[in-house]
Amino acid sequence: MKKLKKENKRKKRIKMREKIPNFVFLIVCFIFYILHSNSYASFNIINPSARSLGMGNSFVAVADDINSIYSNPAGLGNLKSWEVLTSYSKLYWGISNLAESFIGVGVPFKEYGSVGVGWYNFNESLYNENVFYLVYAYPIKDASFGVNFKYLIRNYISNEWVTNNPYFTSLNKSNFSFGFSLFTYLLKDLSFGLFIDDFNQPDVGIVEEKLPMVIRSGVRLNVDKYNLATAEVFYRNGRIKVHLGGENSSFKTGNFGILCFRLGCGVGSDNYVNVTCGLGYKFNIPYINIGGEFDYGFLFPFGFASGTYGTHKVSLTIRELFKELSKTSTEEK
């Protein structure tokens, strides 16, 4: 009897071992589906910020804060203060365990230009990407020129299925990338942005996989003091996306801050369609001479896998006091 029980237990363990690789295989297949679908691809970083997401991911011609590190490096030339940004994103909530996070710092040095550094992380239980940024922008009159350097790291998590798969000759790959950009005012209230990223098309695959060059171009119109509208064309690997968005910042909350409302959408190749919205709150903390902004962004994709509750992003920016808020407080006193 004891031998029979031991034999049954042994058979159960064998069955479990057989099921685990199949389960892992399904997860890995799902990751590859996400990575190579029109919704996501390797190092396909459009905007890990809640503010830009709320405006439909149309930010290349807005580029007026720390988010410029990844959306348009030349925009760092518009910084009026040092800025620190941290953000977290839950991607396609409900059908995946995909998440993004970002930390960035930007500092203007007056006539010497502005410098930014950042770290981006994309994470899934069996796969992750890390990107380290070094960005420089130099302003000239009504224009600014920028360059970015990136160190890209791609990792797969080891398990039985991965170990036995001949595709995985290595579990990680790293390489360098660079790009350049422009931000300028065509008219007083009309700005233009151009960003060519991954210009050298680095190999980031375990088996050769060259990262396609990205071209982003767009315009921003300041409708009035409190409203802006923006449009952007995003090109990558033969696919085109058009992003539209807007922001309203007319709602002041006494001496405390400004409430911002955002809307946007995106359409493009391979049935790429989404709508976005977002909220932001700019605030000053006068006792310690620090200002900041808290942002939330939401994106709902159409034509993607069913069952998702969309992408959710939150971000917090810390900087010097907002002058417009300080002026408001002084005027009201």
Q: Which residues of the chain have pLDDT under 50?
A: 2, 9, 12-40, 329-333
Please check whether residue 267 lies inside any domain of the structure.
Answer: no
Q: Model-level pTM?
A: 0.81
Domain count, the chain: 1
- Pick from 122, 66, 119, 118: nearest CA to 90: 122
- Helix ranges (H only) for the chain are 2-36, 50-54, 68-71, 160-163, 323-332
pLDDT in tens, 107-142: 999 889 999 999 999 988 778 899 999 999 999 888
d(CA 122, CA 107) in angstroms, rounded, equals 25
Q: Which one-letter DSSP state was computed for residue 128?
A: E
Please check whether residue 264 lies inside any domain of the structure.
Answer: no
Amino acid at 25: F
pLDDT in tens, 306-321: 778 889 999 999 999 8
- Pick from 34, 144, 51, 36: nearest CA to 102: 51
Which pLDDT does position 38 carry in this prediction?
A: 39
Please check whether residue 150 lies inside any domain of the structure.
Answer: yes
Which pLDDT does position 261 carry in this prediction?
A: 98
The alpha carbon of residue 105 and the mean position of all alpha carbons in its chain are separated, in whole angstroms, by 15
Please check whether residue 261 lies inside any domain of the structure.
Answer: no
Please check whether residue 120 lies inside any domain of the structure.
Answer: yes
Q: Which domain holds residue 29?
A: 2-246
